[in-house]
Amino acid sequence: MTSFSDEGYIIKQRRHGERSLILTVLTQNNGKLTGYVKNAISKNNLAIYQLGNSIKLNAYSRLEENMYSFHVELISANSVNFMASAEKLAALGSLCELCNDCLPEKENTERFYNVIDKFFKQINEDNWRTYYSYFEFYLLDYLGIGLDLSCCAVTGQRSNLRYVSPKSGKAVSADAGAPYQNRLFAYPEYIIKHNEHPSLKEISDTLKMTEFFLNKNFFQLHGLKFPENRVNLRDNLIKHL
């Protein structure tokens, strides 16, 4: 019999029978886990099993290949922080779908988990969109399709980097990229320099780029449809530009 305790964020839930749930949780120490929660559906429990909520779970299974059974305790009802904003709801839905679609079961995601944890903890700040864009940028890295932004792919120089090539995923300098700028992505300088207060235009440019590489190098590669919530997120963000 396998048993352990962990904490994490709910990224998916669906009904199982009349009163139970199948819950997917991104945990701090055990990666993405899916388990069965018996008698989860009741008036008293309704607020617990919402997307984005932070929970403590006790997981156990009789055999390693069996689905876990979860006992869940609420740590923080984060879902309420998203309810008043269509854009925040789209961000929550997008993050949950991307995590559910892209992350393998039971694989250690501790370093990447910290990026997601910061997004939830900063959601009520004015610059919450920054932390969402960090999530997508580092998701590319986690999936092994990260970008090479250290030097210009054409000249090798490490300064005055302005663009990213959609073909190679490598940086391009301002001079080398100028004739082709309409076909290149903007260089995400704020991420490289850890600036937490970029403009909305910079964030939108980064999400345009991460959407392209996630779709091309993961979703299309695996025959999957790109999450609709993610498309809605960028559409909502553009309205503010």
Q: What is the pTM of this model?
A: 0.93
Average pLDDT value over all residues in the chain: 92
Residue type for 45, please?
A: N
Higher pLDDT residue, 186 or 234?
186
Ordered structural domains, the chain, with CATH = 2-80 (2.40.50.140), 82-238 (1.20.1440.120)
Cβ contacts of residue 106 below 8 Å, gap of 6+? 30, 31, 32, 33
Q: How far apart are CA 220 and CA 48, in angstroms?
A: 34
- Summarize pLDDT for 52-97 with one digit per residue, the tens: 999 999 999 876 667 899 999 999 999 999 999 989 999 999 999 9
Higher pLDDT residue, 44 or 130?
130
Q: How far is CA 241 from the centre of its chain?
A: 23
Q: Which of 38, 35, 42, 29 is nearest to 13 (CA)?
A: 35
- Determine the average pLDDT of the residues in 96-116: 93
The encoded tokens of residue 71 equal 């006992």
Looking at residue 45, its pLDDT comes to 85
- Summarize pLDDT for 147-203 with one digit per residue, the tens: 999 999 999 999 999 999 999 999 999 999 999 999 999 999 999 999 999 999 999
